[in-house]
Homo-oligomer: A and B are copies of this chain.
Amino acid sequence: MKTYVDQLNQLTFSEMFGSDFLLTWEKTDDEIAAVFAVADALRELRENNISPKVFDSGLGISIFRDNSTRTRFSFVSACNLLGLEVQDFEEGKSQVAHGETARETANMISFMADIVGIRDDMYIGKGNQYMRDFARFVKEGHQAGVLEQRPTLVNLQCDIDHPTQSMADMLHLIHEFGGIENLKGKKIAMSWAYSPSYGKPLSVPQGVIALMTRFGMDVVLAHPKGYEVMSEVEEVAMKNATLSGGSFTKTNSMAEAFKDADIVYPKSWAPFAAMEKRTDLYGAGDGDGIKALEKELLAQNKLHSDWQCTEEMMKSTKNGQALYMHCLPADITGVSCAQGEVEASVFDRYRDQLYKEAGFKPYIIAAMIMLAKVKNPQAFLEKCAAAGATRWQT
């Protein structure tokens, strides 16, 4: 525990208290480092059967506008660990359809909410905006005396970023490579991969290139022509790479990206332009247009079915032993689809590591909550370690 407390003592992160976590690039390097330190500290406490409850009562509200397994259970786990009960807001059971405004809903579900986690990743230009609106509404509600506490937000995936994913990915890398300092100069290939399904969000590749460029790595973004990600995020990656002494490059060749890579992250996504078009069609209620677009996109994907993470491709990586990463679930050839993002033997070889990668997410979320809710996490963590309150009376 002393290690983590010492790390935290050298970082400046006081502005995280009372703040939302929406995009990694809105946070300073120190703030990002604080999340990793608190996440590791919380894991150590739990591994030593010590309960780190911040709250004796209180609610964590989740709003999932898209399906979720990992993130849903990670959010529930994080809230439970810190003492919050989760209440899921299901719009279908609410009176949203009765003409309730977004401002009203935000306040009405937040009376005793300490934290709100939102996934809204389906429509370009909408998800992150919804989170910002929600954050503003509850901030104003708090200022007006409607809400006794200001619930802070955690972005559980939007159209732009997926910070709980990219931060969990990064903490996994830190552990796999034995420390953040060992990542300098490492090559990571964030590559598009073929999938027979349609319309996967862009937030994972965007989140990865924007975050991984902050640690001196050589980040390569690879995709077929036409599968561009948001240019704003590429600019963030570019700027970060310059500042960190790493690099950010793009290529239309998966082979080039994989060559001598230390880490590969092959994953399908939809073209940004197509996602924008879909959002417009959806807004216009053009069902036929959406179907036509879907057909078109599947055909477009098919043209690049050779973008697969095969054993052959893995051989070209550094010593043939690059670390394979994925946010899961992956489209595994012969397992979950006829042909997909990755060959089954590659996936299987890295399965334990992939599951561990996912296993950092509950702690990343818990750390984001703690830094938003506890003014002096060092003191809190030391107090927990000293008190040693048993989580499980085995």
Q: Which residues of A contact B (CB under 8 A)?
A: 43, 46-47, 51, 53-59, 64, 67-70, 72-74, 76-77, 80-81, 83, 85-87, 89, 93-101, 104-105, 107-109, 111-112, 114, 141, 144-149, 197, 328-332, 335-337, 340, 352, 355-356, 358-359, 361-362, 373-375, 380, 389-394
Contact = CB atoms under 8 A, between A and B. Distances in A.
A335 B332 CA distance: 47
17 contacts: A55-B392, A56-B392, A57-B83, A58-B391, A64-B93, A68-B95, A69-B95, A69-B105, A80-B85, A99-B336, A100-B336, A101-B329, A101-B332, A108-B358, A112-B362, A114-B392, A374-B393
A57 B84 CA distance: 10
A93 to B, nearest CB: 6
Nearest to A335: B101
A51 B53 CA distance: 14
Contacts of A43: 148
Given A83-B57, A145-B352, A358-B108, A374 B390 contact: no
A39 to B, nearest CB: 13
A238 B93 CA distance: 37
A96 B69 contact: yes
Contacts of A112: 46, 77, 80-81, 362
A24 B44 CA distance: 37
A101 B348 CA distance: 12
A33 to B, nearest CB: 22
Given A93-B64, A375-B394, A141 B355 contact: yes
Given A57-B51, A111-B77, A69 B100 contact: yes
A335 B99 contact: yes
B57 A80 contact: yes
A329 B111 contact: no
Identify which of A46, A54, A70, A373 gathers the most chain B CB atoms within 10 Å of its CB: A70
Contacts of A72: 93-94
A393 B57 contact: no
A197 B98 contact: yes
Given A109-B73, A329-B98, A356-B146, A391 B93 contact: no
A56 B51 contact: yes
B69 A99 contact: no
A73 to B, nearest CB: 5
Contact of A69 (B94, B328, B330, B332): B94
A391 B69 contact: no
A99 B329 contact: yes
A111 B107 CA distance: 31
Contacts of A76: 59, 85, 87
A108 B55 contact: no
Nearest to A43: B148
Nearest to A360: B111
